[in-house]
Amino acid sequence: MVVDTMGICILLGGFALLLILRIPVTFSLLLASLGTTLYLGLEPGFLIINMSKGVMNFSLLAIPFFIIAGGIMCHGGITTRILDFSNIIVGRFRGGLAQVNVLGSMFFGGVSGSAVADVSTVGSMMIPMMDQKGYDKDYSVAVTVSSACQGIIIPPSHNMILYAFAAGGGVSVGRLFLGGVLPGIMLGIFLMVVSYVIAVRRGYPSEKGVGFKKALKISTDAFLGLFTFLIIMLGITLGIFTATESAAVACIYALVITTCVYRTMTFRRLIQICYESLRTLAVVMSLIAAAYVYGMLLSRLRIPALATEGLLSISDNTIMLLLLINVVLVALGCIMDMAPLILICTPIIYPVVVQTLGMSPIQFGIMLLLNLGIGLCTPPVGSALFVGCAVGKAKIEKVSKALLPFYFTMILMLILITFIPQLSTTIPDWLMPEI
Amino acid sequence: MKILSQFLSVLHMAVAFIGIIALQALVLITFAHVVLRFGFNSGINWSEEVCSSILMPAFVFLGMALGAQEDIHINVTVLPKSTPKWIFAITERLKDIGFIVVGIVMCYYSYDLILLNLEFENILPATGLNNALQYISMPVAGGMLILVAFLAMFNIKMAKNYVAHICNVDE
Q: Exposure string (b/e) for A27-41, b if CB count within 10 Å is 16 or more?
A: bbbbbbbbbbbeebe
Look at A25 and B74 and tell me if their CB atoms are within 8 Å.
yes
pLDDT band at A386 (very low <50, low <70, confident <90, very high): confident
pTM: 0.87
DSSP secondary structure string for all residues of A344-382: HHHHHHHIIIIIIS---HHHHHHHHHHHHHHHHTSTTT-
Sign of torsion, CA A256 A257 A260 A266?
negative
If we measure between CA atoms, which residue out of B154, B109, B107, B152 comes closest to residue B12?
Answer: B152
Cα(A136)–Cα(A127) distance, integer angstroms = 10
Cα(A365)–Cα(A157) distance, integer angstroms = 12
Angle between helices A25-39 and A267-300 (to 10 degrees): 30
Look at B77 and A55 and tell me if their CB atoms are within 8 Å.
no
pLDDT band at A80 (very low <50, low <70, confident <90, very high): confident
Look at B51 and A18 and tell me if their CB atoms are within 8 Å.
no
Q: What is the dihedral of CA A28, A34, A35, A38, to 10 degrees?
A: 180
Residue type, position A16, single letter: A
pLDDT band at A67 (very low <50, low <70, confident <90, very high): confident
pLDDT band at A229 (very low <50, low <70, confident <90, very high): confident
Look at B56 and A60 and tell me if their CB atoms are within 8 Å.
yes
If we measure between CA atoms, which residue out of A82, A390, A35 comes closest to residue A228?
Answer: A82
Q: Is B77 on the interface with A (CB under 8 A)?
A: yes
Q: Is B79 on the interface with A (CB under 8 A)?
A: yes
Q: Which residue of A has its CA nearest to B137?
A: A52
Q: How many CB atoms lie within 10 A of CB A61?
A: 26
Angle between helices A62-75 and A78-90 (to 10 degrees): 70
pLDDT of residue A435: 66
Please tell me which of the candidates B60, B70, B110 has its beta carbon nearest to residue A48: B110
CB A376 within 8 A of CB A149: yes
If we measure between CA atoms, which residue out of B101, B95, B104, B90 comes closest to residue B76?
Answer: B95
Please tell me which of the candidates B75, B88, B167 has its beta carbon nearest to residue A272: B167
Look at B99 and A27 and tell me if their CB atoms are within 8 Å.
yes
CA atoms within 13 A of residue A321's CA, in its CB half-sphere:
21
Q: Is A267 on the interface with B (CB under 8 A)?
A: no
Cα(B60)–Cα(B26) distance, integer angstroms = 12
Look at A252 and B31 and tell me if their CB atoms are within 8 Å.
yes
CB B106 within 8 A of CB B26: no
pLDDT in tens, B91-150: 999 999 999 999 999 999 999 999 999 998 888 888 888 989 989 999 999 999 999 999
If we measure between CA atoms, which residue out of A21, A433, A271 comes closest to residue B88?
Answer: A21
Give the SS3 label for residue B123: strand
pLDDT band at B80 (very low <50, low <70, confident <90, very high): confident
Residues of A in contact with B87 (CB under 8 A): none
pLDDT in tens, A14-55: 999 999 898 999 999 999 999 999 999 998 888 999 999 888
pLDDT in tens, A250-283: 889 989 999 998 888 888 888 888 998 898 888 8
CB A33 within 8 A of CB A293: yes
Cα(A92)–Cα(B123) distance, integer angstroms = 64
pLDDT higher than 70, residue A100:
yes
pLDDT in tens, A306-335: 888 888 888 888 899 999 999 988 888 877
Q: Is A19 on the interface with B (CB under 8 A)?
A: yes
With a cut of 0.85, is the ipTM above it? yes
